[in-house]
Structure 1
Amino acid sequence: MNPGLLDLILFSEKRKDFLLLLKEGPKDIEEILEKLQVPRTSLLPQIKKLKEEDLVIHEEGMYRLSTIGEIVVEKMQPLLDTLSVFEKNEEFWADRRLAAIPPHLIKRISELGDYRLIEPDLSHTFDLNPEFEKYLLNSSCIHMFFSYFHPQFPALFLSLAKKGIEISLVLSESVYLRLVEDFKEEGKEFLKMENASLCILEKKGVEIPALIASANRIMILGLFNESGRFDRQYVISLEPRAIKWGEELFEYYRDMSREIKLN
């Protein structure tokens, strides 16, 4: 696809929306104007440009995508979905260590969908984010990897397990050592529970996220910034595709880990 055609498609909201509308099927001009909510005088020149590039066909009063147009729009949608993820919080993504997400999943980052970014709450500076905690407490199954330590984590995960929630944890080596040194009894009690499992990441030299959690109805992602710090900003998505994406990211790190058992 030449740069002129890319400009034609991507750098006009009217042309882009028009093409995506025709993806649903042929439309007459009245239906198009009603759905796009744009004046006829501003849309018709844009349609003319698309017709000149053989992306759109107008016959018998109906507009439809040409064969080329169908191919282009089919390929255009994933790009637009990916751009939507990054454009929603440009500064956040520009300052994240994205290497913690393996290539096969970064290519599918559009699956995060209509996510939200949770910012640190100054009124809970030393506490876990209340919203983060609420989502976990309302789950029946939790898979989580984390590589930063919070002193409230051991009690939280133990209480989740005691509620009967199925919970599988993967920890970085540094977090595991902290747990063993300072929260040994909580760790032992956690491991005694049949609905709980604990693994430690063994592979060295890999970029890792601060946190990834996949639960019944939510995916939570925390990434270190370019300075190597975790600023407690979480990406949260409730969309089924995002939850599956988060589960695959968790499994990616679990596959590089070994399970810890009580002696």
Structure 2
Amino acid sequence: MSSNILKLYEKVRDDLKFLTASDVRTKIIIVLNGGSKNLSDLKEETNLNSSTILHGMSQLEEKNLILKQSGGYSLSQTGKIVALNLINLIKASTSLGELEKILLMHEIEVIPNYLLENIGSLNNAVVVESTPTDVMKPHTVHAELVSRSKEVKYISSVLLPQKIESFDELLEKGSLQLMLTEDVLEKWIEIKGRETLKKELLEKDFKLWKIENAKMSFTVADNFFALGLFSTDGMYDLNKYLISEDEEAIKWGNRLFDHYLKQAEEVKL
């Protein structure tokens, strides 16, 4: 696999350098991704002078990445694809500074590769950490967000009792989808009571699944996304939650939930 990618790199390395080695070309591509612009628009949005922009435009035209039409400039079809990938790379690079707090030394294999490739969707996420004076801070923040939610989807391979109370309150006004590993499910039933859970499944907007392998505590709701991971030593990290209220992060979270839903078995008590 790596040898094939290296061969591909040899073919496109000059194109990659062309796209990333010039601030001018990069800024023009990003601005034009927002729609057709004239020279005045480009000057205002890039803070570059006319001659610099026109030189960059000429280079991009030679690569068939932009089109000149009736005094305006726009991306070609190829240019649009390049712009989307370039923007995604920028977002991913921006995200990694904050995400490193939770991704480094944690088990990220639970996130499928196609979602790791789109990690830029989490560029506005923050890591909420425990402090010496507030060790429960990540879970308090999570509970507060759940209290404002109307719809929650939750995956977990760890039992966090405080979640049970939060979700009980949610079910009085909203919908809940739980996906739990077998041992966590058994403990959840023990705490809640089988008959109580059965009644909620029948009477509330509530669905319950069993999943074999999902080493995380993960929530995606209508108003936020949250992710807790296991450390590489095999222990769940209670002290960190990656949280975002950004719409793009919520969409990313729904894709992660759907990924595991395909592997889950619905529970009928």
Query: What TM-score do the two structures reach when normalised by structure 2?
Result: 0.74
Percent identity, please.
24
Counterpart CA distance in 1 for 2:128 and 2:69 is 49
- Contact map agreement 1:158 1:190 (CA 8 A) in 2: no
Match of 1:246 in 2: 253
SS at match of 1:170: strand
2:115 to 105, 114, 124: 105
| Shift in alpha-carbon separation, 1:123–1:5, aligned structure 2, 3 A | same
2:244 to 237, 241, 247: 237
- Contact map agreement 1:101 1:209 (CA 8 A) in 2: no
Query: What TM-score do the two structures reach when normalised by structure 1?
Result: 0.76
Kindly state the Cα deviation for residue 86 of structure 1 after the two structures are TM-superposed. 3.1
CA deviations on 1:88-119 (whole Å, 9 max, x unpaired) are 53453343422212344334434445333322
Counterpart CA distance in 2 for 1:28 and 1:154 is 56
1:10 is aligned to 2:20: yes
Structure 2 unaligned blocks of 5 or more: 1-10
SS at match of 2:208: strand
Counterpart CA distance in 1 for 2:72 and 2:209 is 60
| Shift in alpha-carbon separation, 1:57–1:238, aligned structure 2, 3 A | same
Kindly provide the amino acid, as one letter, of the partner of residue 132 in structure 1: H
Q: How do residues 32-71 of structure 1 correspond to structure 2 at under 5 angstroms?
A: 32-38=42-48, 50=60, 55=65, 64-65=74-75, 69-71=79-81
Kindly state the Cα deviation for residue 132 of structure 1 after the two structures are TM-superposed. 0.8
Match of 2:152 in 1: 142
Counterpart CA distance in 1 for 2:80 and 2:151 is 41
Counterpart CA distance in 2 for 1:244 and 1:17 is 27
What root-mean-square deviation, in Å, do the aligned CA atoms of Structure 1 and Structure 2 show?
3.4
- Contact map agreement 1:191 1:198 (CA 8 A) in 2: no
Structure 1 unaligned blocks of 5 or more: none
Match of 2:182 in 1: 173
- Contact map agreement 1:212 1:249 (CA 8 A) in 2: no
| Shift in alpha-carbon separation, 1:81–1:20, aligned structure 2, 3 A | same
Counterpart CA distance in 1 for 2:105 and 2:27 is 30
Kindly state the Cα deviation for residue 36 of structure 1 after the two structures are TM-superposed. 1.5
**Number of equivalences:** 255
| Shift in alpha-carbon separation, 1:117–1:39, aligned structure 2, 3 A | farther
2:231 to 225, 229, 241: 225
| Shift in alpha-carbon separation, 1:90–1:74, aligned structure 2, 3 A | same
- Contact map agreement 1:113 1:239 (CA 8 A) in 2: no
| Shift in alpha-carbon separation, 1:70–1:218, aligned structure 2, 3 A | closer
